């Protein structure tokens, strides 16, 4: 019987399961038990669709997407799955009749610790959209036991503690030991003669690790399609225990593999562990799909007809040599057969134009972790060079494209040479890849390069995070936008001049601001004015994202308030949310400065009446769902040319925040869609930034010497009320002695003027409401549904299931 068919059936099932599992009644049960039972019921209800999708894919020979990513920042799944399955109202009413508040159960769920920033959240949005559109996908990630880290703010600093998100288990996962595979690390390669007389290669004396999958259902929006996120966990091999180490040492090695996301790469041990994690992920994911395929079809030569492997950034690029290794060493294919297969089923998404962020691995480390893969990479590089020589590519360009050079393996170069598709994630980003970062590759293989501007799932980020706004939209344009946002949401722009809609949009925003203000008061004991401008910058802490420029503006305002008795401004609440990587000392020092400035501003009566500065601790998906609907201003102020796309810009726009930004990443497309009048743009263009880098004419000291405002700000790092001895000298040195490589001082004067324009616009309530409506109505393009349809049409070539 369908346990969600009606309220009475739901209640009886809930009570029965509670008694069966916990031997308790509704009245005596604990909230954690109630959450667990509801989560299991939702998971099991989705399992029927899960099985049906897998059966259809097999029986009808449908092509599947295997999406490799080191991160999937999924957020909470209970509300999302209840809504997507169309059973939320029954569950809510049934629980109410049992005396249980569903919101309290929702609060029991921890954010899954499977990601850190935009890369992981994008991957999660993609899974949601792929499932909601009805295409078959399996995401692959590691089951990190302790996530990235949980951020604590204490004594004015960031501290990192383990993210114990699995303390009470994870109700939405199902352990699938029958799909386990063994991953081999280290050892060495031996040649042997095969039965047919040919030479073969095998790895011997390797350390064997059992990779066990935990599958999480990914529920599509009311279409009976449920896909899989497969999380790999490292366990001891049952038949191949190592002889060269104790069992305790072996267990420690396993524990490290699935302990946490992004081990500290400032040490050699941390770098090797990162490499091991990457190899563990791709080897496990490839082995299991290829084993299943070979079992059914007795060949791997048609693998590309049934699977496409999308590599999300450089982390999973070891999939290329590993797929070659599996075909040649495990299944006996020759090089040419394996290479023809690999080059037809691997696609690569690039997420950065910054050379320092493009992964390069030491030859020594790759030889140590996966020696056979290194041999294959070496041979790929040799054959690539023969091709370049044959095509008369000059030596300078050949050097730029080398896969192996200067003792390192350049992973992006390996991916671009091998993959049949290489995509950027915003129009500007892809143009820079073609003309700057990988221009030599683009000249050689222009047809490989394409753009797929990122998107976000509007179901989570608008419908569920901001239900009253979603209801308002539906009341005006109908509900077709929910399943066709790219084409239908634009109709909401027609209400820009509708006084009733203007008032409703602003009322809903005010309600959301009250909720966030309540949270800030309860968690941080800071009183913020909901009538102030909520100015929001929420993203990982990195120098190029320029949280520091935002802070310099705040310092500038404080100095004016203190030094100019007649100065006045519209009240502002500056909200930051950011984690700095544990070994990123400069980023952590910027957080210290934000907190120090906040302490001064918030406690000085002269400034506190005008502005507050709030740093939200442990920013993640659930907090984003609280902050984004309350934001008035969306800070998207990265150095032009540095941000590949950005996705917080899209989520904030979708919820009616006005973008204050540079012409960088997807801001360019936001600008083009909303028009000049509905966005505030400032700063250097990407061409100007690249020109400064090329000709070397920029001088931070010139900017300093020519501006009293800049001098006052920079000097306050030593003598300002937030200065503590020379604690912030590192920030001064990074800006002045490293020549302000992200052009904060160059863009600061324009940024200050842009902020003044924001204030002026906000004070015209009608104009501001019109801008909000224009942004909401123009945001349809940024649904990840549109992005996925473009991937399907141009790269993946999937057909739908569940029709």
> For residue 333, which of 366, 370, 290 has the smallest C-alpha distance?
290
Q: Is 115 left (phi over 0), alpha (psi -120 to 50) or beta?
A: beta
* Catalytic, out of 542, 545, 572, 642: 545
Cβ-based neighbours of 138, under 8 Å, separated by 6 or more: 64, 65, 66, 67, 227, 228, 229, 230, 289
Helix or strand or coil: residue 486?
helix
Instruction: Find out whether 661 and 637 touch, Cβ atoms under 8 Å.
Output: yes
* Catalytic, out of 651, 746, 783, 787: 651
Task: Measure the CA–CA gap between 357 and 442, rounded to whole angstroms.
Answer: 20
Instruction: Copy the structure tokens of residue 324.
Output: 């070659």
CA-only gyration radius of the chain, Å = 27
Which spans in 604-647 are helix H?
605-608, 621-627
Q: Phi, psi at residue 449, to the nearest 5°?
A: -85, 135
The one-character DSSP state at 678 is G
- The answer to whether residue 612 is catalytic is no
β-pair partners for 538: 577
Q: Is 112 left (phi over 0), alpha (psi -120 to 50) or beta?
A: beta
Instruction: Copy the structure tokens of residue 377.
Output: 């990479």
- The answer to whether residue 434 is catalytic is no
Q: How far apart are the first and last CA of the chain?
A: 23
Helix or strand or coil: residue 572?
strand
- The answer to whether residue 539 is catalytic is yes
The one-character DSSP state at 209 is E
Task: Measure the CA–CA gap between 710 and 66, rounded to whole angstroms.
Answer: 50
* Catalytic, out of 325, 539, 542, 589: 539
> For residue 473, which of 655, 626, 678, 634 has the smallest C-alpha distance?
655
Task: Measure the CA–CA gap between 408 and 359, rounded to whole angstroms.
Answer: 10
Q: 191 vs 198, 203, 339, 370, CA distance in Å?
A: 10, 9, 20, 16
Instruction: Find out whether 624 and 125 touch, Cβ atoms under 8 Å.
Output: no
Q: Phi, psi at residue 624, to the nearest 5°?
A: -60, -40
What's the residue count for the chain? 803
Task: Measure the CA–CA gap between 142 and 774, rounded to whole angstroms.
Answer: 40
- The answer to whether residue 609 is catalytic is no
Helix or strand or coil: residue 426?
coil
* Catalytic, out of 259, 351, 372, 452: 351
Instruction: Find out whether 656 and 469 touch, Cβ atoms under 8 Å.
Output: yes
The one-character DSSP state at 238 is S
β-pair partners for 27: none
Cβ-based neighbours of 479, under 8 Å, separated by 6 or more: none
- The answer to whether residue 351 is catalytic is yes
Which spans in 525-584 are helix H?
547-563
Strand pairing category for 157-161 and 150-154: antiparallel
Instruction: Find out whether 350 and 313 touch, Cβ atoms under 8 Å.
Output: yes
Task: Measure the CA–CA gap between 541 and 643, rounded to whole angstroms.
Answer: 13
Task: Measure the CA–CA gap between 561 and 748, rounded to whole angstroms.
Answer: 18
Cβ-based neighbours of 150, under 8 Å, separated by 6 or more: 160, 161, 162, 163, 164, 618
Give the H or E element holding residue 766. helix 765-778
- The answer to whether residue 647 is catalytic is yes
Q: Is 35 left (phi over 0), alpha (psi -120 to 50) or beta?
A: alpha
- The DSSP result for 520-540, as a single string, is HHHHH-----TTSEEEEEES-
* Catalytic, out of 143, 493, 540, 579: 540
Task: Measure the CA–CA gap between 202 and 10, rounded to whole angstroms.
Answer: 55
Q: Where are the beta strands (DSSP E) in 146-241?
A: 150-154, 157-161, 173-175, 181-185, 188-193, 199-204, 207-219, 226-236
* Catalytic, out of 647, 659, 662, 787: 647
Catalytic residue list = 351, 539-540, 545, 647, 651
């Amino acid at each position: 019987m369908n346990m969600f068919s009606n309220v009475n059936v739901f209640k009886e099932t809930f009570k029965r399961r509670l008694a069966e599992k916990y031997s308790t009644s509704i009245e005596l049960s604990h909230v954690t038990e109630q959450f667990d039972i509801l989560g299991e019921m939702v998971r099991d209800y989705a399992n029927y669709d899960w099985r049906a999708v897998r059966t259809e894919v097999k029986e009808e020979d449908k092509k599947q997407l295997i999406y490799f990513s080191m991160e999937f920042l999924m957020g909470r799944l209970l509300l999302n799955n209840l809504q997507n399955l169309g059973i939320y109202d029954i569950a809510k009413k049934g629980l109410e009749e049992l005396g249980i508040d569903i919101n309290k159960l929702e609060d029991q769920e921890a954010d899954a610790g499977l990601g850190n920033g935009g890369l992981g959240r994008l991957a999660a949005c993609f899974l949601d959209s792929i499932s909601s559109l009805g295409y078959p996908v399996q995401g692959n990630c590691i089951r990190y036991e302790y996530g990235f880290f949980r951020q604590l703010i204490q004594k004015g600093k960031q501290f990192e503690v383990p993210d114990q998100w699995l303390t009470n288990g994870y109700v939405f996962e199902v352990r699938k030991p029958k799909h386990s595979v063994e991953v081999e690390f280290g050892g060495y390669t031996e040649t042997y003669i095969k039965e047919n007389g040919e030479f073969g290669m095998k790895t011997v004396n390797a350390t064997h690790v059992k990779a066990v999958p935990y599958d999480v259902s990914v529920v599509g929006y009311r279409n009976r399609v449920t896909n899989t996120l497969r999380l790999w966990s490292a366990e001891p091999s049952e038949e191949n225990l190592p002889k060269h180490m104790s069992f305790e040492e072996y267990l420690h090695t396993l524990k490290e593999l699935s302990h946490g996301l992004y081990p500290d790469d400032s040490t050699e041990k941390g770098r090797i562990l990162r490499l091991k994690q990457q190899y563990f992920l791709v080897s496990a994911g490839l082995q299991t799909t290829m084993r299943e395929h070979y079992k059914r079809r007795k060949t791997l030569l048609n693998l590309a007809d049934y699977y496409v492997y999308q590599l999300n950034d450089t982390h999973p690029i070891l999939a290329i040599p590993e797929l070659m290794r599996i075909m040649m060493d495990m299944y006996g294919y020759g090089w040419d057969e394996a290479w023809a297969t690999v080059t037809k089923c691997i696609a690569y998404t690039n997420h950065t134009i910054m050379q320092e962020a493009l992964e390069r691995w030491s030859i020594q480390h790759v030889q140590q972790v996966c020696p056979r893969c290194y041999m294959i990479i070496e041979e790929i590089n040799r054959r690539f060079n023969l091709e370049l020589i044959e095509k008369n590519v000059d030596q300078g360009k050949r050097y730029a494209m080398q896969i192996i050079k200067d003792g390192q393996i350049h992973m992006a170069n390996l991916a671009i040479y091998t993959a049949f598709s290489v995509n950027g994630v915003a129009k500007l980003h892809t143009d820079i890849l073609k003309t700057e970062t990988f221009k030599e590759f683009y000249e050689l293989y222009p047809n490989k390069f394409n753009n797929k501007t990122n998107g976000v799932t509007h179901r989570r980020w608008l419908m569920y995070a901001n239900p009253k706004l979603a209801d308002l939209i539906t009341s005006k344009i109908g509900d077709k936008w929910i399943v066709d946002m790219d084409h239908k949401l634009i109709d909401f722009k027609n209400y820009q001049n509708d006084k009733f809609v203007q008032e409703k949009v602003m009322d809903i925003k005010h309600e959301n601001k009250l909720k966030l203000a309540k949270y800030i008061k309860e968690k941080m004991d800071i009183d913020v004015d909901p009538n102030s401008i909520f100015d929001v910058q929420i993203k990982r802490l990195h120098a190029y994202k320029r949280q520091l420029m935002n802070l310099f503006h705040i310092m500038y305002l404080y100095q004016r308030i203190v030094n100019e008795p007649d100065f006045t401004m519209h009240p502002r609440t500056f909200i930051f949310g950011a984690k700095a990587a544990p070994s990123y000392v400069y980023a952590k020092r910027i957080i210290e400065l934000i907190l120090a400035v906040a302490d001064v501003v918030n406690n000085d009566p002269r400034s506190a009446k005008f502005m507050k500065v709030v740093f939200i601790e442990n920013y993640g998906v659930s907090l984003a769902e609280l902050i984004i609907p309350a934001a008035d201003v969306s800070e998207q102020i990265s150095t032009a040319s540095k941000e590949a796309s950005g996705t917080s810009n899209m989520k904030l726009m979708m919820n009616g925040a006005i973008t204050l930004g540079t012409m960088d990443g997807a801001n360019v497309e936001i600008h083009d869609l909303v028009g000049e009048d509905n966005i505030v743009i400032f700063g250097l263009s990407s061409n100007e930034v690249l020109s400064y880098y090329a000709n070397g004419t920029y001088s931070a000291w010139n900017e300093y010497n020519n501006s009293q405002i800049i001098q006052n700000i920079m000097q306050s790092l030593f003598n300002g009320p937030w200065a503590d001895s020379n604690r912030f000298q590192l920030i001064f040195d990074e800006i002045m002695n490293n020549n302000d490589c992200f052009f904060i001082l160059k863009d600061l004067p324009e940024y200050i003027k842009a902020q003044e324009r924001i204030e002026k616009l906000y004070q015209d309530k009608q104009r501001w409401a019109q801008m909000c409506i224009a942004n909401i109505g123009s945001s349809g393009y940024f649904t990840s549904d549109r992005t996925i349809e473009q991937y399907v049409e141009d790269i993946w070539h999937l057909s739908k299931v569940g029709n």
